[in-house]
Amino acid sequence: MHQDDSRRNDAGTVAGIDLGSTQIKAVIYNGSSYVAGMTDASWDVEATALALLLKTSSDAGLSAPPKIIATTGYGRRCLKIATLTCTEIAAHAKGAFHLVPGCQFVIDIGGQDAKGIRLSAEGYVEDFVMNDKCAAGTGRFLSNMGRALGVPVEQFGSPASRAEPHRINAMCTVFAESEVISLLHQGVSRDAIIAGLHASIARRTVSMVAALNPEFPVVFTEGVAHNSDITQRIS
């Protein structure tokens, strides 16, 4: 049967899917270019991931998903058609070293945990530290604070970088939310509170990774890395 070249299933193409705690990301890569997609996580992790994989494959011009499908993230074992799995730590190390050759350290702050990963000169994981017992200082923490402040978390970055941070004492999500509401009632500006939250996350992150003696170059990954103010404060 003749196959339309515009809807091919290229044997040299691979798929990678990150089944995270808050979002699921997929990428189709053919060795020189890629097509990516993203969606919010749901209670049915496998169905959501499969739907995203099919859509991203179609966007890449494929008639079906690639034969090689690698998964990572909290739900990496949920997609039954995956051909291999990889821990988030190994995936971040490989990806960071590929994109930034010579990378020595990775800081990863995702939806509900934070990690510091030290790499060898060859890009292999030498050691890591992880905060997975509490959501403090993660993307979910920021999202909760955004709801308390009435500010979308996507708008947290640049205005806060120009404000003098008001110190936030609580890092527990529940107590921090109460503290934020109290500060608003006291007349503290939203930008000052957001800057204070960013400063607290930066201090917590630097303290967490200090034992691994990070060396440059350092790569900052996951959703919180899109926040320019936190990135600046950590650096």
- In whole angstroms, give the CA distance from residue 100 to residue 35: 20
Q: Where does the pLDDT of residue 11 fall: very low under 50, low under 70, confident under 90, or very high at 90 and above?
A: low
- For residues 136 and 169, state if they share a domain: yes
Give the pair of three-digit tokens for residue 32.
């020189």
Q: Where does the pLDDT of residue 231 fall: very low under 50, low under 70, confident under 90, or very high at 90 and above?
A: very high
Give the list of residues 6+ apart from residue 62 with CB closer than 8 angstroms, or none: 7, 8, 9, 10, 13, 28
> Tens digits of per-residue pLDDT, 150-183?
988 888 877 666 789 999 888 788 888 899 999 9
126, 90 Cβ separation under 8 angstroms: no
pTM of the model as a whole: 0.84
- For residues 114 and 39, state if they share a domain: no
Residue (of 122, 148, 141, 126) closest to 205 by Cα position: 141
Residue 143 lies in a domain: yes
Provide the percentage of residues in the chain whose pLDDT is more than 90. 69
- For residues 40 and 117, state if they share a domain: no
- For residues 124 and 193, state if they share a domain: yes
- Dihedral angle at the C-alpha atoms of 135, 137, 140, 143, nearest 10 degrees? 140
Lowest model confidence (mean pLDDT) among 13-17, 108-112, 117-121? 108-112
- For residues 100 and 31, state if they share a domain: no
Residue (of 117, 209, 136) closest to 177 by Cα position: 136
- For residues 226 and 147, state if they share a domain: yes
- Which CATH number does the domain housing residue 115 bear? 3.30.420.40
- For residues 16 and 110, state if they share a domain: no
> Taking 80 as the threshold, does the pLDDT of residue 32 lie above it?
yes
> Taking 70 as the threshold, does the pLDDT of residue 5 lie above it?
no
- For residues 161 and 108, state if they share a domain: yes
> Tens digits of per-residue pLDDT, 212-228?
999 999 999 988 999 98
Residue 158 lies in a domain: yes
- For residues 101 and 210, state if they share a domain: yes
The strand pair at 114-119 and 105-109 is best described as antiparallel
Residue (of 115, 93, 114) closest to 104 by Cα position: 93
- For residues 211 and 234, state if they share a domain: yes
Burial 140-176 (b: 16+ CB within 10 A, else e): bbbbbbbebbebebeebbeebbebebbebeebebeeb
Question: How many domains does the chain contain in total?
Answer: 2
Q: In terms of residue numbers, what domain contains 68?
A: 5-85
Of 32, 67, 85, the last residue of a domain is 85
Residue 199 lies in a domain: yes
Residue 90 lies in a domain: no
Residue 7, pLDDT score: 43
- For residues 121 and 75, state if they share a domain: no
- For residues 63 and 141, state if they share a domain: no
Say if residue 54 is exposed, middle or buried (CB neighbours under 10 Å; 0-12, 13-18, 19+): middle
Residue 22, pLDDT score: 87
- DSSP assignment, residue 8? B
